[in-house]
Amino acid sequence: MTAHTDEARADEMALGGPGASGGRADRGREPRGGVIAWLKRVRRFVAFKGFSSLTRRIVLLNLAGLCALVSGILYLSEFRSGLIDARIQSLLVQGEIIAAAIASSAQVETNAITLDPERLLELQAGESYGPDDGFAPLEFPINPERVAPVLRRLVGPTRTRARIYDREGQLLLDSRSLYSRGEILRYDLPSPNEPKPGVLERAWQAVQLWFGRGDLPLYKEFGPQAGKNYPEVASAAMGVKASEVRVDERGQVVVSVAVPVQRFRAILGVLLLSTQSGEIDAAVKAERFVIVRVFLVAAVVMVLLSVLLAGTIADPVRKLAAAAERVRRRIKSRVEIPDFTARSDEIGHLSGALRDMTGALYNRIEAIESFAADVAHELKNPLTSLRSAVETLPLAKSDTSRNRLMDVIQHDVKRLDRLISDISDASRLDAELQRQEAASVDLKQLLEMVVGLAQDVRKDDGVCVSLTFERAHGAPADFLVAGHASRLGQVVDNLVSNARSFSPEGGSVRVMCRRLKDGAEIVVDDDGPGIRPDALSRIFERFYTDRPHQGFGQNSGLGLSISRQIAEAHGGTIWAENRTETEPDGTLRVTGARFVVRLPAA
């Protein structure tokens, strides 16, 4: 009854019944619209969270762990066994007290003379028969009329069933049959209209019996003449206290304790105390109900915490996924990726990685668009000149004019061929570097080969190319870097060719490789006019060239741009500067250009 009352009160409080509305009435009525709006927000929040599979997984996993824990507590709890042990001890103490009271109620039969008929038949003439001269064994029979009031007063408040057997196992008294004068006996009989249990109910009772019984024996009610069929009664008749734990046909525990009733060490009978069917199970159910209520509170708290935890994970991931989807659909316009880098966890790292990846993607797209525009512009100039020469050629009247136009056509064709070759090389450079695995490259061998080829190629300028090696203090002895030997050789070849084209006749190009502690530097010096200050920041741009001493169209302007692209792909840097020296008047004179490539060590 208490459990149902608590549940009703809890439901009343949860639904805002009288128990809950009283406090609100004291504080004043809140606007009904605000409550409805709050409920709508809660419903939208729950519905929104319900669409997240990650949220569902977190909630289900946490609840599964909690359910497993509670199930183990409910099934494997030691509360039931501890309760049974405590009940056995209490019944033993109670039985000893009641047995002592029963023994004190027994009386000696002083007014009775006991005659043995067999002894009388064996008497001879002149013989007499009477009591022995010695003390005959004293008998202390249990008088049910004297014991019943004592038993009713001692057992009645405890709701324990008590039965008294004699030494032969015959039932003398049963507390179920005891009643005082004027007392009306009342028995709860089953209703004649009570329906028979259905299949599900019988199955549930079978499951309860199976779980509740375990290895306990089944309780059976024996007749009044078969008391010794109870093992505990048989043991108590021998003077040994005993107890048994059984289950009835409904799976409810019945605890029985048998105590010998003895006086002056003479066993007069046996007292059998047993609990009411379902008494221990009711206590266990009450304890389990408390555990279930704690479980419900813990489940609500766990669901809320799981939803909040999932919100800190699922919501940022959902926003990042939506932003990535917008990036896929809107390539032409920049999409801002949500910034969660302030979080020092995996979500923050993922947000930073996606932002960096998206920024690199947009930069690559812009670079491709710019490259395409530059290619179109650079190809358009020779094509325009070539078209003009071709259209003018039929109109030429002299051989001199026709030969001059043919020279222009050949020049423009060579220029187009050079541009297309350099553009093709630059366009497939990134893909080639990403496909090939970086290997250990010995710069000493590479530079000796590249410089040796440059020296072997004889030109009319008479420029000499030299190579030297240096090692910084504390630097390793080797000149190994990680990269692609062919592409690094291309960088050196471009720089040597560029320096050679700006060097005066009979000048020199000096290549020096310096080993550093954490990498290596390649320095290429020439004796040319140097680089104009305004061109230092543009010299590595695509299609940029500044060669006043050469004719237009002799170079594509992609050599230094490709060199920078290769150096950066290897994790290095490249820059240009002017070599200067101080004149006697204090002014600085440019003595040539210097290009420096720095690469990390292998």
Residues of the chain with pLDDT under 70: 1-35, 38-55, 72-79, 106-141, 179-197, 204-214, 331-332, 430-431, 434, 458-460, 547-556
Query: Taking the complete model, does pTM exceed 0.85, yes or no?
Result: no
Distance CA 314, CA 307 (A): 10
CB 480 within 8 A of CB 440: yes
What single-letter DSSP state applies at residue 229?
A: G
CB 169 within 8 A of CB 113: no
Distance CA 384, CA 389 (A): 9
Residue 267, SS3 per DSSP: strand
CB 402 within 8 A of CB 393: yes
What is the pLDDT, as a whole number, of residue 371? 74
* CA neighbor of 542 nearest in space, from 515, 527, 517, 562: 562
What is the pLDDT, as a whole number, of residue 29? 46
CA distances from 241 to 103, 231, 235, 246, 389 (A): 16, 11, 7, 17, 129
CB 271 within 8 A of CB 98: yes
Distance CA 143, CA 149 (A): 11
CB 92 within 8 A of CB 259: yes
Phi first, then psi: what are they for 140, rounded to 5°?
-125, 80
Spell out the residues 6+ positions from residue 506 whose beta carbon is closer than 8 angstroms to its own: 461, 462, 463
CB 335 within 8 A of CB 362: no
Domains of the chain: 79-107+140-178+198-277 (3.30.450.20), 332-427 (1.10.287), 436-600 (3.30.565.10)
Residue 304, SS3 per DSSP: helix
Work out the number of other CB atoms within 10 angstroms of the CB of residue 414: 13
